[in-house]
Amino acid sequence: MLVEEQDFQNAIKRQLIRLYDYQRSDNYDFENCKHLACTEVRAASFHSKCNPRERARLSKFNFSSTSQDKLDANEFCMKDLATSHLMEREKCAEKAERFVNYVFERCKNDSAPFTQGRK
């Protein structure tokens, strides 16, 4: 897959997560950094860099590591990507890492709308 195609797919997934979060909530606030952080954590879990299935599919190398190492790397990637995206919002930039850490455990496994029932 071409890099541009993968970038496009990542951007589409991120926007779909944003739209879905806004539509499913009665009180989603685009000015609330915690709401935005949760959306970014959720979007990061589907990004090709952070999703273990996508990484395995796209990787030329097959590194052997423990399941815990893979989980730790995946969560680090999700937090890092979500923080960098949240920093794009001027209001949230200064405390972006704190907001992501605050919502991470609650938001990391919410995979809707791509799979239902997992929260």
43 lies in some domain: yes
Please, what's the b/e burial string for 66-75 (b: 16 or more CB within 10 A of its CB; e: otherwise)? Answer: eeeeeeeebb
113 lies in some domain: no
* Structural domain count, the chain: 1
Q: How many whole angstroms separate alpha carbon 88 and alpha carbon 90?
A: 6
52 lies in some domain: yes
Phi, psi of 16 (to 5 degrees): -65, -40
Residue pLDDT, tens place only, 17-38:
999 999 999 999 999 999 999 9
47 lies in some domain: yes
Output the pTM of the full model: 0.83
Range of the domain at 52: 3-107
40 lies in some domain: yes
115 lies in some domain: no
- Say yes or no to pLDDT of 109 above 60: yes
119 lies in some domain: no
What integer is the mean pLDDT of 13-19? 94
Decide if 43 contacts 14 (C-beta within 8 A): yes
The packing angle between helices 96-107 and 67-86, to 10°, is 130
Q: Is 73 helix (H, G, I), strand (E, B) or coil?
A: helix
Residue pLDDT, tens place only, 29-76:
999 999 999 999 999 999 988 876 665 555 555 555 666 777 788 899
11 lies in some domain: yes
Q: Higher pLDDT residue, 104 or 115?
A: 104
Predicted local distance difference test score (pLDDT) of residue 68: 73
